[in-house]
Amino acid sequence: CELFSMYSELFSVYYELFILIKYVDDHQEEYVQTLREWVAVESDSSDVTKRAELYRMMDMVGEKLRKMGGKVELVDIGEEQLPDGSSLALPKVVTAQFGSDVNKPTVCVYGHVDVQPAQKEDGWATEPYNLTEINGNLYGRGASDNKAPVLAWIHAVEAFKALDMDLPVNVKYLIEGMEETGSNGLDAMIKSQKSTFFSDVDYIIISDCGWLSKRPALTYGTRGNCYFFAEVEGPKQDLHSGVYGGTVIEPMTDLIGILDTLISPSGTILIPGIRDAVAPFSDEEWKMYQDIEFDVESYREKIGVEQLMYNNKVELLAHRWRHPTVSIHGINGAFSAPGTKTVIPAKVTGKFSIRQVPDMDPAVVEKQVTDHLHSVFAKRKSPNKLKVKMIIGAKPWLADIKHSLYEAGKAAVKRVFNVDADMIREGGTIPIARTFQDVTEKSIIMLPIGGFDDGLHSQNEKMIFNVLNPGFMY
């Protein structure tokens, strides 16, 4: 009798699982269609002229969750100040709740639906805002970062609701629209809802990252991001380089000169003091890195360079995840189009960022960078004016991989994929992870859904159509 009851329970669990998986498979086209509608919204949070699209995106998220029967709120998080002195409403944050059973744990899924800029001319093979399937991949801006993962978590709950199945946990959602530009307004919102929305949350899940290889992974750390604008201003307006060239010290010459002092040809950061705070690389870490599934040669091939900055796996991963780096993104105000404009740009803004790691502090980085640039600029004795400003100062994040949440994550990966998850870090920044940790004091896990070659922030971003072979789990 005991045996019968056990088998019966097991059967019921597996039957429920079977029904659930069948439902998901049967609704695949619908899921893709929803993703297509979401990708079609140009929710580029870095471009203020696209703000209306971003508002519309948040409304669509709210509507989707409301239709599923969730308790949905669109939370006003205030305004942002634009450089011209005007202000602009931030996109509302969507919160939703499914279930409030005090006997169940409560899981909160965080995600974002804003995207990086994208234009066909940047080198996309397809229209970036028109989700296009090619060879089992779905191409579109935001497909992987982060619209499909957000929808995956939403559709999971939707399946339970549609089948009238009991959710094993209470589920909450927190979906924002400013992640790509530093989650403006979200920190304050999280702080203000610490004792309301977050009071019954036990665990926070973030799927705004990707696997490292074809092996499933759990992510336990991210780098921070200090994004700088260095503006050099000279003449009142752009000048003809023939008519005026040779009579003015050009802002571009100054800007190029100071940007050239940030990093050595081999990749060493040259800003004094900046590497002092970096946590030492322990032997234990070294060993762990060695076990990670990662092929340096195929990484090199995928990127398409003749040589990487480091040739061995451990050093390369360490410089990707737990050492700081400087990237110069571009210059605003200079001539950037095709053709041969003969202009002396009057005001140019160099944009670069430093990915910082534990135990660096953004406030200290800001001072080190600002001091350094003003010091090298002063040596030039230029009549032009330099302004240095840190636009984003997002902290790194690091979790304890021995926490029960990671144990649960490892077990889940093992059950679904039948392999051990790689324990990885993320070179990119998910600033909100750090905020969740600092403010709510809840445990956080990053559970990547995006593939390892999704091209985040790049041309031809995509989401794989089927992470799993459809037959895999039957």
Among 97, 170, 183, 429, binds its own copies (CB under 8 A): 429
Among 151, 455, 463, 464, binds its own copies (CB under 8 A): 455
Radius of gyration of the chain measured on its C-alpha atoms: 24
Token pair for residue 367?
Answer: 């001072």
Q: Is 324 left (phi over 0), alpha (psi -120 to 50) or beta?
A: beta
Contacting its own copies within 29-58 (CB under 8 A):
46-48
Helices 2-26/28-39 angle, 10° precision: 50
Q: How far is the CB of 390 from its own copies (least distance, A)?
A: 11
Q: Does 358 bind its own copies (CB under 8 A)?
A: no
Q: Of 350, 151, 59, give the one whose Cα is nearest residue 232.
A: 350
Q: Does 338 bind its own copies (CB under 8 A)?
A: yes
Select 243 or 419, whichever has its Cβ closest to its own copies.
243
How many CB atoms lie under 10 A from the CB of residue 401? 17
Among 51, 320, 425, 434, binds its own copies (CB under 8 A): 320
Size of the site for its own copies (CB under 8 A): 96
CA distance 263 to 254: 16
Site string for its own copies, 156-185 (x = CB under 8 A): -------------------------xx---
Active-site pick, 44, 176, 179, 454: 179
CA distance 180 to 178: 6
List Cα–Cα distances, 99 to 17, 32, 66, 72, 93, in angstroms: 20, 26, 13, 12, 20
Q: Does 254 bind its own copies (CB under 8 A)?
A: yes
Select 105 or 267, whichever has its Cβ closest to its own copies.
267
What burial class does residue 5 get, using C-beta atoms within 10 Å of its C-beta: 0-12 exposed, 13-18 middle, 19+ buried?
exposed
Select 194 or 379, whichever has its Cβ closest to its own copies.
379
What burial class does residue 48 get, using C-beta atoms within 10 Å of its C-beta: 0-12 exposed, 13-18 middle, 19+ buried?
middle
Q: Does 303 bind its own copies (CB under 8 A)?
A: yes
Among 5, 195, 196, 247, binds its own copies (CB under 8 A): 247
Among 138, 263, 373, 388, binds its own copies (CB under 8 A): 263
| Amino acid letter, residue 421 | A
Contacting its own copies within 203-232 (CB under 8 A):
210, 223, 225, 227
Contacting its own copies within 12-31 (CB under 8 A):
none
Whether 179 is catalytic: yes
CA distance 429 to 413: 23
How many CB atoms lie under 10 A from the CB of residue 439? 17
Select 20 or 451, whichever has its Cβ closest to its own copies.
451
Q: Does 316 bind its own copies (CB under 8 A)?
A: yes
Token pair for residue 28?
Answer: 């695949």
Q: How far is the CB of 226 from its own copies (least distance, A)?
A: 11
The per-residue DSSP string of 299-321 comes to HHHHHT-SS-S--SHHHHHHHHH
Which of these ranges, 20-28, 60-68, 306-314, 441-449, lies near its own copies under the rule CB under 8 A? 306-314
Contacting its own copies within 54-113 (CB under 8 A):
none
Report how far Cα 117 is from the mean position of its chain's Cα atoms.
Answer: 13
Contact between residue 105 and residue 203 where contact means Cβ atoms under 8 Å apart: yes
Select 48 or 169, whichever has its Cβ closest to its own copies.
48
Q: How far is the CB of 249 from its own copies (least distance, A)?
A: 6
Contact between residue 256 and residue 389 where contact means Cβ atoms under 8 Å apart: no
CA distance 422 to 208: 17
CA distance 28 to 38: 15
Whether 238 is catalytic: no
Among 241, 275, 417, 437, binds its own copies (CB under 8 A): 241
For residue 180, what is the DSSP state? G
Contacting its own copies within 180-199 (CB under 8 A):
181-182
Contact between residue 151 and residue 31 where contact means Cβ atoms under 8 Å apart: yes
Among 85, 136, 242, 280, binds its own copies (CB under 8 A): 242
Among 460, 462, 463, 464, binds its own copies (CB under 8 A): 460
Which of these ranges, 58-66, 146-154, 420-428, 462-470, lies near its own copies under the rule CB under 8 A? 420-428
Q: How far is the CB of 127 from its own copies (least distance, A)?
A: 17
Q: How far is the CB of 445 from its own copies (least distance, A)?
A: 19
3-state secondary structure of 298: helix
Q: Does 373 bind its own copies (CB under 8 A)?
A: no
Among 61, 230, 271, 334, binds its own copies (CB under 8 A): 334
Among 34, 353, 435, 443, binds its own copies (CB under 8 A): 353
What burial class does residue 75 get, using C-beta atoms within 10 Å of its C-beta: 0-12 exposed, 13-18 middle, 19+ buried?
middle
Q: How far is the CB of 106 from its own copies (least distance, A)?
A: 30
CA distance 174 to 97: 9
Among 36, 104, 275, 380, binds its own copies (CB under 8 A): 380
Known catalytic residues are 114, 179
